[in-house]
Amino acid sequence: MGATEGSILSIITLVGWIVIGIRVMRLCEASGIPNGWLAFVPFANFTRWARLAGKSPWLVLLWIIPPVGYVISLIWLGAISRFTGTQSPWFWVYLVCVIISIASSGVLHGTIYGILALILTLLSLYASWMIFDPTKPIAQAK
């Protein structure tokens, strides 16, 4: 991936972090989960995901084991999408984007990888946008 593709991807990722953070914070507020502002703090934002999924925020400590972190985040995202009623197709779009992104990172290089990474990032951000819908508060969250 070239410098241009990397810069564009970095900007999109940063903007996506902010936009999805706003959605998660608003969904926390609508669901009665305190400290929604933690959605903007790296690593701590997943404690909000855990709360929205009805799980203990302490499970975030399992992120120390990288494959476990991916699996846990997908399980939580699946639960959140079920609770908000946005499971189909957005959770599956997100899941496929993550799988393709991980699988292609070691195989593809250069501009092709940059374009694929850009498309997958945009798709996963849109899927996250749809899943973290603050107009559909989660009654199951604790």
Q: For 28-44, how does the pLDDT look when each residue is reduced to its tens digit (9 = 90+)?
A: 999 899 999 999 998 88
Contact 124, 94 (CB under 8 A): yes
pLDDT at 139 over 70: no
Asked whether residue 141 is domain-assigned, the answer is: no
Residues 6+ apart with CB under 8 A from 47: 38, 57, 60
User: Which of 50, 45, 55, 33 lies closest to 134, judged by CA?
Assistant: 33
Q: Would you say 97 and 73 are in contact if contact means Cβ atoms under 8 Å apart? A: no
Higher-pLDDT residue of 20, 104: 20
The reply to whether 84 falls in a domain is yes
Q: What per-residue string of b and e applies to 76-87 under the rule 16 or more CB within 10 Å gives b? A: bbbbbbbbbebb
pTM score of the predicted model: 0.79
CB 141 within 8 A of CB 104: no
Residue 22: predicted pLDDT: 92
In terms of residue numbers, what domain contains 33?
A: 3-131
136 within a domain of the structure (yes/no)? no
59 within a domain of the structure (yes/no) = yes
Q: What tens digit of pLDDT does each residue of 40-67 get?
A: 998 888 899 999 999 999 988 988 887 8
- Is 138 a domain residue? no
In this structure, is residue 72 part of a structural domain?
Answer: yes
Residue 142 within any structural domain of the chain: no
Is residue 31 in some structural domain?
yes
Vertex 57 angle, CA 53 and 58, to 5°: 140
Number of domain units in the chain: 1
